[in-house]
Amino acid sequence: MHLRTLISRNLTGLSVILALAGALVLYSIQRNLSDSATLRELQGGSQQIETVLQHIVDLETGVRGYIITGNDVFLEPYDRGRALLPGEFSALSRFLAEQASQKQMERLSNVQALLDRWFRDVATPEIETRRANGFSAGEAARSQAGKRLVDSMRQELAGMQAALQAQTVQMQRDATFSLRLVQGLVLLAFALVAGASALIGTNLSRRLGQALEGLSRVTRRVAAGHYDERAPRSDVYEVQEVAGHFNEMAAAIQTSQAEVQERHAALERQHEQVARLSEDAGRLAELTDTLQACYTLAEGYAVLQGMLPHIFPGWSGTVSVIAASRNLLTVQVSWGEARWRTPDLTSTPDMCWALRKGRTYTREHPITMSCIQQAPGHTHAYLCIPLVAQGETLGSLRLSADDPEQSSKETARARNFAEAVARQIALSIASLQLRDTLRNQSIRDALTGAFNRRYLEETLSRELVSAERNRRALSVLALDIDHFKRFNDTFGHDGGDAMLVAVAQEMQDFFRAEDVVCRYGGEEFVVVLLDTAHEDALARANGFRQAVHGLRVNLRGQPLGQVSVSIGVSTFPGDGTTPEGLVSAADEALYEAKRQGRDRVVSVSQLPAQGAIVPDMPKPQG
């Protein structure tokens, strides 16, 4: 029931006042209705723009899917979008014409022109080429041009939508003002009627009080942040109109609040990104500190093996290092799944695209050519980064995403971090390689490549402690080349050097990797046989002595003659418990072998007993 009818039944004298109040209320209501209709039209226009944008996205997605797969199913959204877009453009054009927005009409024309160009220059040629020739590398350039056209259409439509949004905000402000005006007029009419008649006041108080109480309660709830609250229906027409407009206002506020929350979520994502960057920096710093504390390459590789899986979660990978010969690339560190790469741990540097190009090689798009070292059919995101330090390429860091659907944005972020890690790995490997080189120079004999006397003293002391603790045997061989002075006198120092190198190489080939072969001085060598009892040491010494018989040494094509060696054997703990004692005992056994005629093996147990009469013979030479 209208307020005018209710009041006229009870108080004719106030009809003029009520009529004027009703007219004002009606005007305000009509104004709000007009604003609401305009808002709905603007929202409809915004929805129309969203529909056009969605059809354009369907067109691009359908063409891209068809070009990649060749499956006609992907053309269904393309055909559907192409059929519906003319009608959508027509409806949008009518809407903009009603709005009398010349700039918006120009933008719509630009979008149509760009779309026609996209159909003509990109979509149709790509589809026809794909049907005729299959997928080709040339489609990549056209796809990039198409992407730029689609991005331009998106920008134009976004501009149109932003203009509509601004217009909508202004209309909402006007509607709010009108709503407040209506509320004021309703309250004024209520006051006038209440003062004129107790009967009218009682009646209106009962009806309007209930309606306005519900509206007031909802208003307080909305003011407190409960934007999903809505005013209840009322049997009073004017109150119902106010409630309806209030509900529209509350809905608009709720929409605005959702936008604010979305912006807050965007800030949260930015904060999360900053936190990830900080975490990456911390992991890189920890890796750097640990690598700097390493003494050898083996330690460095062990550190990388343990830390890289945590530095690159969600990625499998390898670290490969180029050998000193520069023709081999060997995997030194690997983690994660192995299905993404070939099983060979050794390859050549020219099999790596990153090493060929001298820069990071990625697989972020299906048209990118697979790395030669990837497993066939592997399509996950892939990074291969050269390890370069001080201008020298040392190897490569290769990474493969475990997630086949990983986004290009995440891959780009990982690439920036991985390149920083690769630089640090390269510097550390270069430093450790230099340190290993210097250490080898300090413990190796420059001529023969065998360990030197200093290394023998350090190693033998350590191994004797270990042998005593674990109750294991340890034997020492003192070895001398027979008649070495004759070789020097006959063939010169070059001949002697050639003989030393050949015998040293034969020793390193014959004895185990864990045995320690040292050049003790001149033509004398010492071999430490770990975990070897006396009888085994004698057998191995004799085995080597016989192996030397087959050695043929040449100097510039000239044979140097038959080679033989004399060997003395001592064993811990029976023949000595100190490094000096064991070497001295083996040396005595060696000289006994010389005295007995050379080319033989003598153990300490075969030396003449202490106090026995030994002929006074000079110390053998050679």
| 300: enclosing H helix or E strand | helix 297-311
Domain 453-606 in this protein, CATH class: alpha beta
Q: What is the pLDDT of residues 429-459, one digit of tens each?
A: 988 888 877 777 778 888 998 999 999 999 9
Catalytic (active site) residue 50: no
Could you tell me which residue, 11 or 290, shows the higher pLDDT? 290
- Predicted confidence (pLDDT) per residue in 465-518, tens digit: 999 999 999 999 999 999 998 888 888 888 889 999 999 999 999 999 999 999
Structure tokens at 161: 């939508």
| Residue 384, strand partner residues | 361, 398
Backbone angles phi, psi at 219, to 5 degrees: -60, -45
DSSP assignment of 431-457, as one string? Answer: HHHHHHHHHHHHHB-TTT-SB-HHHHH
Q: How many CB atoms lie within 10 A of CB 86?
A: 10
Place of tokens 């390890």: 387
Name the DSSP letter for residue 121: I
Averaged confidence pLDDT in the chain: 82
Q: What is the dihedral of CA 70, 72, 75, 79, to 10 degrees?
A: 150
Rounded-to-integer distance, Cα 542 and Cα 403, Å: 60
Question: Per residue in 131-159, pLDDT tens?
Answer: 887 655 555 556 677 788 888 888 888 88
CA distance 425 to 25: 78
pLDDT for res 386: 92
- Where do the structural domains in the chain lie, given as residue ranges? 3-252, 294-443, 453-606
Bridge partners (DSSP) of residue 481 are: 565
Q: pLDDT above 90 covers what percent of the chain?
A: 25
pLDDT digits (tens, 9 = 90+) for 321-342: 998 778 888 889 989 887 777 7
What is the rounded CA–CA span in Å between residue 310 and residue 314? 9
Specify the fold of 294-443: Beta-Lactamase (3.30.450)
Model-level pTM greater than 0.85? no
Q: CA 59, CA 51: separation in Å to the nearest integer? A: 12
Which amino acid type is present at position 212? L
Domain 294-443 and domain 453-606, same fold? Reply is no
The pLDDT tens digits of the residues spanning 237-284 come to 777 777 788 788 878 887 887 888 888 888 787 777 777 777 878 888
Q: Out of 248, 506, 523, 592, which one is annotated catalytic? A: 523
Q: Which stretches of 70-137 are DSSP H helices?
A: 75-99, 102-118, 124-133
pLDDT of residue 39: 76
Is there a contact between 122 and 146 (Cβ–Cβ < 8 Å)? yes
